């Protein structure tokens, strides 16, 4: 029996991307199709989504609009992969310029609860044959935006007097980042159309407010998150965000499945966005990429200076405050650093100031540019991902593929994917990067010194780089684990 699975999310690469979620929603359904699943996606009709999908045609009018003038369900496909994608067309909600979640003042839209309730409700409608030609057996909801989908499925079962296991579809809720919880005032609950008793500690209520994320965690049949270590961490007070007791209570339903890399997009041997192509066995192009990066960012042309790369949101979660404090360690040892990102004003100013003080060694570009991101990963010797917490992280996986040794804090998916270049690990042929244990300046500085020490031993450096490039973090293994989970449910 072919398992029909609907992925419900707010972003999809290359149409709309504010973070790693979009990469996952592009790659995971495609990998599941290769495993024999019948996978589709449901998205809000944001402007770039409506413009980017091909062959859109109406499937159904949605009977509940949550305050939008009109809402219809359309079916199209992603041109690059032919992945079938359902889109909710509700122009009052989604046809707005700029960021999908924030207005021009960078404040969340006042009707976000209704905008994303419609997404969850539409998913439950698809499970109840809103499209007469296709209905999912499993609905996988990604992050808080889709958190109400499992709640609406549970409500549909209760309405028919069915047990949860007999709901129109079984549900999986995937946490990409527990820090974003979709919290709204309690008085918005009435507009959601859920049974009154769902607003309860055992339900969507969260410290007197309502949480879309908690709805997903409470009502889904299974919970996944994006690395095994993060699955353990979110059951602790330190990283549970107030939901650790719920997550511990559901530990038997919670599984960490590592995100993968789409090597069709991230592969230095075929990447059209970089200065020269290269592979683990033909590395000469890597130096050309480094030279091109130094030229583009107006850094001193020194092929023997280790280049540290950063492609990240500039936030404290990403540890970029800690790295800013460690810049003198890199510069004083003759290294260089290239930073691409945008975020907290104080961090943007701090890195910009450092670039003015050390124009030969520090280069900063504020904003996001996918082509430049590829150029940095290809041109860097080391990619720094010093996050305070990191559910999975994709940057370190891209870095491994491109022979840029990752420098990471031992948390979440970073702990699961990078092996420190300690003397023992080097001797045992295991090392792939640099890992620091404590989130403290001296621990990061020591990891930076280890990177310089290994860079000076060129044979060990080349060996470690080759080993990193040979790691396989493709989607196939993760897709197999998801398939096993769906089979268990369906």
- Mean pLDDT, residues 313-338: 96
Q: How many CB atoms lie within 10 A of CB 240?
A: 16
DSSP states of 385-396: E--S--SS-SHH
Q: How many CB atoms lie within 10 A of CB 179?
A: 13
For residue 114, the model assigns a pLDDT of: 98
Residues 463 and 484 both lie in one domain:
no
Residues 294 and 226 both lie in one domain:
no
Residues 255 and 309 both lie in one domain:
no
Report yes or no on 305 lying in a domain.
yes
For the stretch 439-459, pLDDT in tens is: 999 999 999 999 999 999 999
Q: At what angle do helices 212-219 and 148-159 cross, to 10 degrees?
A: 50
For residue 380, the model assigns a pLDDT of: 98
Instruction: Give the per-residue SS3 of 213-239.
Output: HHHHHHHCCEEEECCHHHHHHCCCCCC
Q: What is the CA radius of gyration of the chain?
A: 23
Share of the chain above pLDDT 90, in %: 93
For residue 440, the model assigns a pLDDT of: 96
- Mean pLDDT, residues 340-362: 97
- Indicate the number of domains in the chain: 2
For residue 227, the model assigns a pLDDT of: 96
Report yes or no on 274 lying in a domain.
no
Q: How far is CA 188 from CA 66, 109, 216, 382, in A?
A: 11, 14, 17, 47
Are 213 and 181 contacting, i.e. CB atoms less than 8 angstroms apart? yes
Residues 201 and 327 both lie in one domain:
no
Report yes or no on 276 lying in a domain.
no
The arrangement of strands across the sheet holding 38-44 comes to 54-61, 72-77, 84-89, 38-44, 4-8, 138-142, 170-175, 222-225, 254-256
For residue 447, the model assigns a pLDDT of: 97
For the stretch 394-437, pLDDT in tens is: 999 999 999 999 999 999 999 999 999 999 999 999 999 999 99
For the stretch 141-182, pLDDT in tens is: 999 999 999 999 999 999 888 888 788 899 999 999 999 999
Residues 307 and 392 both lie in one domain:
yes
Report yes or no on 270 lying in a domain.
no
Kindly give the pairing relationship between strand 183-184 and strand 72-77: unpaired
Q: How confident is the model at residue 368 (pLDDT cuts 50, 70, 90)?
A: confident
For residue 471, the model assigns a pLDDT of: 96
Give the mean pLDDT of the chain: 96
pLDDT surpassing 90 at residue 131:
yes
CA–CA separation, 112 and 115 (whole Å):
5
Kindly give the pairing relationship between strand 183-184 and strand 209-211: antiparallel
CA–CA separation, 266 and 287 (whole Å):
18
The residues with which 215 forms a beta bridge, in sequence order, are: none
Q: How many CB atoms lie within 10 A of CB 21?
A: 24
Residues 120 and 160 both lie in one domain:
yes
Q: Is the peptide bond before 243 cis (omega within 30 degrees of 0)?
A: no
For the stretch 26-40, pLDDT in tens is: 999 999 999 999 999
Q: How confident is the model at residue 342 (pLDDT cuts 50, 70, 90)?
A: very high
Nearest residue to 34 (alpha-carbon basis) of 397, 398, 483, 490: 483
Residues 329 and 397 both lie in one domain:
yes
Q: How confident is the model at residue 485 (pLDDT cuts 50, 70, 90)?
A: very high
For residue 105, the model assigns a pLDDT of: 87
**Nearest 5°: phi and psi at 413?**
-65, -20
Residues 256 and 288 both lie in one domain:
no
For residue 1, the model assigns a pLDDT of: 78
For residue 351, the model assigns a pLDDT of: 98
Q: How many CB atoms lie within 10 A of CB 29?
A: 28
Residues 482 and 464 both lie in one domain:
no
For the stretch 344-353, pLDDT in tens is: 999 999 999 9
Q: Rounded to 5, what percent of the chain is helix, strand, coil?
A: 40, 20, 40
Residues 34 and 63 both lie in one domain:
yes
Report yes or no on 277 lying in a domain.
no
pLDDT surpassing 90 at residue 80:
no
Residue 138 domain boundaries = 4-260+475-489
Q: How many CB atoms lie within 10 A of CB 462?
A: 12
Report yes or no on 358 lying in a domain.
yes
Report yes or no on 9 lying in a domain.
yes
pLDDT surpassing 90 at residue 60:
yes
Question: Rounded to two decimals, what is the model's pTM?
Answer: 0.91
Q: How confident is the model at residue 248 (pLDDT cuts 50, 70, 90)?
A: very high
Report yes or no on 96 lying in a domain.
yes
pLDDT surpassing 90 at residue 185:
yes
For the stretch 94-129, pLDDT in tens is: 999 889 999 988 899 999 999 999 999 999 999 999
For residue 162, the model assigns a pLDDT of: 84
CA–CA separation, 240 and 251 (whole Å):
13
For residue 426, the model assigns a pLDDT of: 95
CA–CA separation, 449 and 47 (whole Å):
46
Q: Which residues are within 8 A (CB) of 36 and not within 5 positions of it... i.e. 6 or more apart?
A: 2, 3, 483
Residues 196 and 163 both lie in one domain:
yes
Residues 311 and 227 both lie in one domain:
no
Q: What is the CATH number of the domain that holds 121?
A: 3.40.50.2000
Would you mind telling me the total number of residues written for the chain in this entry?
490
Segment 153-160 long-range contacts (CB within 8 Å, at least 24 positions apart): 153/123, 153/124, 153/127, 153/219, 154/219, 155/124, 155/194, 155/195, 155/198, 156/124, 156/127, 156/128, 158/195
- Give the CB-side neighbour count of residue 390, counting CA atoms within 13 A: 33
For residue 391, the model assigns a pLDDT of: 94
For residue 93, the model assigns a pLDDT of: 97
């Amino acid at each position: 029996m072919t398992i029909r699975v609907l992925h419900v999310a707010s972003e999809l690469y290359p149409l709309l991307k504010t973070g790693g979620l979009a990469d996952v929603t592009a790659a995971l359904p495609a990998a599941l199709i290769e495993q024999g699943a019948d996978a589709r996606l449901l998205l809000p009709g944001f402007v770039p989504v409506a413009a980017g999908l091909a062959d859109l045609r109406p499937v159904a009018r949605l009977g509940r609009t949550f305050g939008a003038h009109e809402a219809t369900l359309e079916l199209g496909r992603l041109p690059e992969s032919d992945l079938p994608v359902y889109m909710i067309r509700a122009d009052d909600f989604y046809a707005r310029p700029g960021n999908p979640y924030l207005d021009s003042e960078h404040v969340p839209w006042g009707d976000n609860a209704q905008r994303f309730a419609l997404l969850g409700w539409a998913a439950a409608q698809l499970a109840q044959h809103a499209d007469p030609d296709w209905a999912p057996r499993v609905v996988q909801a990604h992050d808080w935006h889709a958190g109400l989908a499992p709640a609406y499925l549970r409500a549909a079962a209760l309405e028919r007097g069915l047990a949860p296991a007999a709901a129109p579809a079984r549900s999986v809720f995937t946490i990409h980042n527990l820090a974003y919880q979709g919290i709204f005032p309690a008085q918005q609950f009435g507009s959601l159309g859920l049974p009154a008793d769902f607003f309860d500690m055992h339900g969507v209520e969260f410290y007197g407010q309502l949480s879309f994320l908690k709805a997903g965690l409470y009502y889904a049949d299974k919970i996944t998150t994006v690395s095994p270590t993060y699955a353990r961490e979110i059951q602790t007070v330190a990283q549970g965000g107030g939901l650790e007791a719920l997550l511990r209570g559901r530990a038997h339903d919670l599984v960490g499945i590592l995100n993968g890399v789409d090597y069709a997009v991230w592969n230095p041997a075929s990447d059209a966005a970089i200065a020269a192509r290269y592979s683990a066995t033909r590395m000469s192009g890597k130096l050309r990429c480094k030279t091109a990066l130094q030229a583009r960012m107006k850094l001193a042309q020194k092929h023997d200076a280790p280049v540290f790369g950063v492609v990240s949101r500039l936030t404290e979660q990403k540890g970029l405050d800690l790295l800013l404090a460690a810049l003198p360690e890199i510069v004083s040892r003759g290294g260089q650093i290239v930073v691409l990102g945008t975020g907290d004003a104080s961090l943007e100013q701090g890195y910009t100031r450092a670039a003015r003080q050390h124009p030969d060694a520090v280069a900063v570009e504020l904003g996001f540019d996918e082509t430049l991101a590829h150029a940095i990963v290809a041109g860097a010797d080391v990619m720094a991902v010093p996050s305070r917490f990191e559910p999975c992280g994709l940057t370190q996986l891209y870095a491994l593929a491109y022979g840029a040794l990752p420098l990471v804090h031992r948390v979440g998916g970073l702990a699961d994917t990078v092996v420190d270049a300690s003397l023992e690990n080097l001797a045992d042929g295991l090392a792939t990067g640099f890992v620091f244990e404590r989130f403290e300046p001296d621990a990061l500085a020591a990891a930076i010194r280890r990177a310089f020490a290994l860079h000076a031993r060129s044979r060990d450096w080349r060996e470690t780089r080759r080993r990193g490039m040979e790691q396989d973090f493709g989607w196939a293994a993760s897709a197999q684990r998801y398939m096993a989970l769906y089979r268990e449910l369906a």
